Amino acid sequence: MEELKKPEISNTEKEHGFISKNLDLVSRNIAKACERAGRDKADVTLIAVSKTKPVSMLMEAYRHGCRQFGENKVQELSQKYEEMPKDIQWHMIGHLQRNKVKYVVGKAALIHSVDSLKLAEEISREAVKKQLEVSILIEVNIANEESKYGVALSDAEKLIRGAALLPNIHIQGLMAIAPYVEDPEENRHYFTLLKQLSVDIKQKNIDNVNMNVLSMGMTGDYLTAIEEGATHVRVGTGIFGERHYPFQDI
C-alpha cells in the first residue's frame, strides 16, 4: 500500500530527485482518496507548502508541473514571488499580521488565514489602494486549540457577514488547521464540522460569499480531508521532506 509512505529525503540539497517522486506519490494518493469518496480528482488542488525550502527545490516541483505553492511567512512569499516564474499561484497560509498585509496583497492569489474583521479591513484597504480584487478564506479554529489562530466555529458566520461587506475582497471559502495527530482518523470529525459549516453558509446565500474552497488537510491527514470534502490540501513535508527554519520574518 503506497498511501502515506514516509517521504524520501535527499542527503544533499544538490540532488532533489525525491521531490518529483514524492509529488507523483501524493498525486496518486489524492486520486485514490477521490475515488473512495466518489469525487473527481480535478476538484482537488494540491498546494505544495514550501516554507523554509530554497528556490532550487521549488523549481524542481515547478518543472514537475506544480503551480500552486503555499508559504507561512510574508518574507518568504515576497522573496520567492520575485525570484520564481510568474505563472505560479501563491497561497498565504500562515498567520498574517495587519502591518504586513501590504507585502502580500498583489502577490498572493489566495489568503487562507483571515481570522478577524480587523485583518479583513486591512486587506480591503490595501486592495482598494492598489486597485486590486483579493480572494480570501476565513480561518476557523475548528478544534478550539489555544495554540492555533482562527475564529471560533460559533463566531465564523458573524465574521463572514462582516468581511463580505468590505470593498475589493471576496470570500471564497473556509480554511482550518486540524490538530496534530498520529492517526488521521482522529481529525475526521473536525473535517466534517468544517464541511458542514461550509454547506450551512452556502445555503444562506450571503452576497460576496462563495463556499467553493475548503482548505483543510496536511501531510499527515490530507487523504482523510479529501474524503470529507477538502478542495485544497496543503502538503509540505510529504513533498519537500523535513524542514529547517533559517528565515526570519519581516
pLDDT tens digit sequence for 59-95: 999 999 999 999 999 999 999 999 999 999 999 999 9
* Res. 250: pLDDT tops 70: no
Point out which residues pair with 46 in neighbouring strands: 233
* Res. 6: pLDDT tops 70: no
* Res. 231: pLDDT tops 60: yes
Point out which residues pair with 91 in neighbouring strands: 70, 110
Q: Please, where are the H alpha helices in the chain?
A: 17-37, 55-63, 74-83, 101-104, 117-130, 156-163, 188-203, 222-227, 237-240
pLDDT tens digit sequence for 194-227: 999 999 999 999 999 999 999 999 999 999 999 9
Q: How confident is the model at residue 18 (pLDDT cuts 50, 70, 90)?
A: very high
CB 182 within 8 A of CB 143: no
CA 25 – CA 31 distance, rounded (Å): 10
For the chain, the average pLDDT equals: 92
* Res. 17: pLDDT tops 60: yes
pLDDT of residue 15: 53
Q: What is the mean pLDDT of residues 159-173?
A: 98
Altogether, the residues listed in the chain come to a count of: 250
For the chain, give me the number of helices (H) and strands (E)? 9, 9
Q: What is the mean pLDDT of residues 118-137?
A: 98
CA distances (Å), origin 65, targets 19, 72, 97:
12, 22, 31
pLDDT of residue 243: 65
pLDDT of residue 97: 97
pTM of the model: 0.91
Q: Is 110 helix (H, G, I), strand (E, B) or coil?
A: strand
